[in-house]
């Protein structure tokens, strides 16, 4: 029996090229300011328009500052890219959510929260973390600039069909373990190339137990294992999340859509090209120690003896070293990985009643204006302010050094973003990827801390031993 990936892919095949790629129809194209300018220039040079403009949505996110968005962007390169996207969207008749628009935010946060990303769709964007949208049960993947032009012009793309991989995680996740920890654990086991050439379907009881926001985080990080993308079969959690959202079907159309979406699953006898099984009980809060997302370990563990010397030299670490207690200079909560409301709730739950540690600079950046509004509606901004934190304006922020939020050279940042490459957060910056809970623990202690030691001891009193007063 076909896998869910086969079902969605095959339903979108326009034509097969002998000994070549597949011509695949694309339901949704997202455009941001970084990879789209040359694509629009290509259309202009050929004198053609977008084939299906209503299927294309544009918004700036990488270059947007996270403060004073009502003022002109100071950096000339960032301003030029953001302005170019606005002009191109207007010229080609595309929906554009610009800076200060109540609909603006990181494109991979806004798509699902507006119901633009729906089960069974094919979704592309000129950004590797397009795999995020797979959490709703879609085949979503990043593409290059020339491919963006191809989709703008034809609403189709030429692609080789990837192989399919099943990653099944069974059991119950432990206290303090989040979807981010699951992803970092998988990368530590598979490495950053372990899923190269595959499209991953996440399955199993631990995956089904994740909220939609947790699923979005897990799928977001598929690309960091080398996968072409990752997705989760839609279920009642998916439907509850999407119901009532702006672009989701309404009324009888919703009922028909849900009935169709319920068929989007791999059968018990589906044949995958590769299948892996993991035990949720083996996963602890994770943190990275090196210069790619696969260099991760339990936060209370030690750096492996065989860790790459070059990476350790850049990070200022040694093999066998524990990171617990290591000083932290910056903490970043946000990005398309962990910039959603549940991430802010988790962060706030741990810092409540505590204070930001002296000497720690914290950037708390919601993934969209909708997330920021919800933070305020729930009073999380007040709680965070009382703890010494400020909620900034939406954008990609310190995920990558393309805006004002850069980590200085030599400084250590516990970051909820998706990549820890050399210089990713700023030239010479040192990034430790972690979950919102682990980031919060570092923010209030000033050092790398196991978040379980700061959680309520009601269910796990042993975790409170030696922890600060609750």
The class (CATH top level) of 4-276 is alpha beta
The pLDDT value given to residue 1: 66
The pLDDT value given to residue 456: 74
The pLDDT value given to residue 268: 85
Is there a shared CATH topology between the 4-276 domain and the 287-464 domain?
yes
The pLDDT value given to residue 247: 98
Q: How many helices (H) and strands (E) does the chain have?
A: 16, 18
Q: Report yes or no: 287 and 438 within 8 Å, Cβ to Cβ.
A: yes
Cα–Cα dist 456/321, whole Å: 28
Instruction: Compute φ and ψ for 84, nearest 5 degrees.
Output: -65, -40
The pLDDT value given to residue 457: 62
pLDDT digits 0-9 by tens, 276-335: 999 999 999 999 999 999 999 999 999 999 999 999 999 999 999 999 999 999 999 999
Task: Please provide the DSSP assignment of 396-440 as one string.
Answer: -GGGSSSSS--PPTT-EEEE-SS---TTTTSTT-EEEE--HHHHH
What parts of the chain have a pLDDT lower than 50?
458-470
Q: Report yes or no: 142 and 151 within 8 Å, Cβ to Cβ.
A: no
Q: Report yes or no: 342 and 311 within 8 Å, Cβ to Cβ.
A: no
Q: Report yes or no: 55 and 27 within 8 Å, Cβ to Cβ.
A: yes
Q: C-alpha distances in angstroms, 176 versus 203, 281, 390? A: 21, 12, 24
Interacting residues of 308 by C-beta distance below 8 A, sequence separation 6+: 290, 291, 295
Cα–Cα dist 31/59, whole Å: 7
Q: Is the model's pTM score more than 0.75?
A: yes
* 287-464 to CATH, choices 3.30.420.40, 3.40.50.12780, 3.30.499.10, 3.40.50.150: 3.30.499.10
Cβ-in-10-Å burial (0-12, 13-18, 19+) of 173 comes to: buried
> Hey, where are the domains in the chain?
4-276, 287-464
The pLDDT value given to residue 356: 98
Cα–Cα dist 288/312, whole Å: 11
């Amino acid at each position: 029996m076909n896998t869910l990936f086969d079902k969605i892919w095959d339903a979108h095949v326009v034509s097969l090229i002998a000994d070549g790629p597949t011509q695949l129809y694309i339901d949704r194209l997202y455009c941001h300011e970084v990879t789209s300018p040359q694509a629009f220039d290509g259309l202009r040079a050929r004198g053609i328009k977008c084939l299906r403009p209503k299927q294309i949505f544009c918004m700036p996110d990488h270059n947007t500052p996270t403060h004073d968005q009502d003022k002109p962007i100071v950096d000339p390169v960032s301003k030029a890219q953001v302005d170019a996207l606005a002009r191109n969207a207007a010229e080609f008749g595309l929906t554009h959510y610009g800076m200060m628009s109540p609909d603006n935010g990181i494109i991979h946060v806004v798509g699902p929260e507006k119901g633009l990303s729906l089960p069974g769709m094919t979704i592309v964007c000129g950004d590797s973390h397009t795999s995020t949208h797979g959490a709703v049960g879609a085949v979503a993947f990043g593409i290059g600039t020339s491919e963006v032009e191809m989709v703008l012009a034809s609403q189709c793309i030429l692609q080789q069909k990837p192989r399919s991989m099943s990653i099944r995680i069974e059991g119950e996740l432990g206290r303090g373990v989040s979807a981010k920890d699951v992803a970092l654990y998988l990368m530590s086991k598979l490495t950053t190339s372990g899923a190269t050439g595959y499209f991953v379907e996440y399955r199993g009881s631990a995956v089904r137990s994740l909220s939609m926001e947790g699923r979005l985080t897990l799928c977001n990080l598929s690309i960091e294992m080398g996968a072409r993308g990752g997705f989760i079969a839609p279920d009642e959690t998916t439907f509850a999340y999407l119901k009532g959202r702006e672009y989701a079907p309404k009324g009888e159309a919703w009922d028909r859509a849900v009935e169709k979406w319920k068929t989007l699953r791999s059968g018990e006898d589906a044949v995958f090209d590769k299948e892996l099984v993991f035990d949720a009980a083996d996963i602890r809060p994770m943190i990275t120690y090196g210069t790619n997302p696969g260099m991760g370990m339990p936060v209370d563990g030690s750096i492996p003896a065989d860790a790459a010397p070059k990476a350790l030299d850049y990070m200022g670490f040694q093999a066998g070293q524990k990171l617990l207690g290591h000083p932290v200079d910056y903490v970043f909560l946000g990005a398309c990985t962990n910039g959603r409301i549940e991430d802010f709730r988790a962060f706030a739950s741990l810092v409540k009643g505590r204070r930001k540690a002296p000497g720690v600079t914290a950037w708390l950046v919601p993934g969209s204006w909708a997330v920021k509004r919800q933070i305020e509606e729930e009073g999380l901004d007040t709680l965070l302010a009382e703890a010494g934190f400020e909620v900034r304006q939406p954008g990609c922020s310190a995920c990558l050094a393309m805006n004002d939020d850069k980590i200085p050279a030599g400084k250590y940042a516990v970051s909820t973003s998706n990549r820890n490459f050399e210089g990713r957060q700023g030239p010479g910056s040192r990034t430790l990827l972690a979950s919102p809970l682990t980031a919060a623990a570092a923010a209030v202690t000033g050092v790398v801390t196991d978040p379980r030691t700061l959680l309520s001891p009601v269910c796990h009193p042993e975790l409170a031993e030696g922890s600060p007063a609750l």
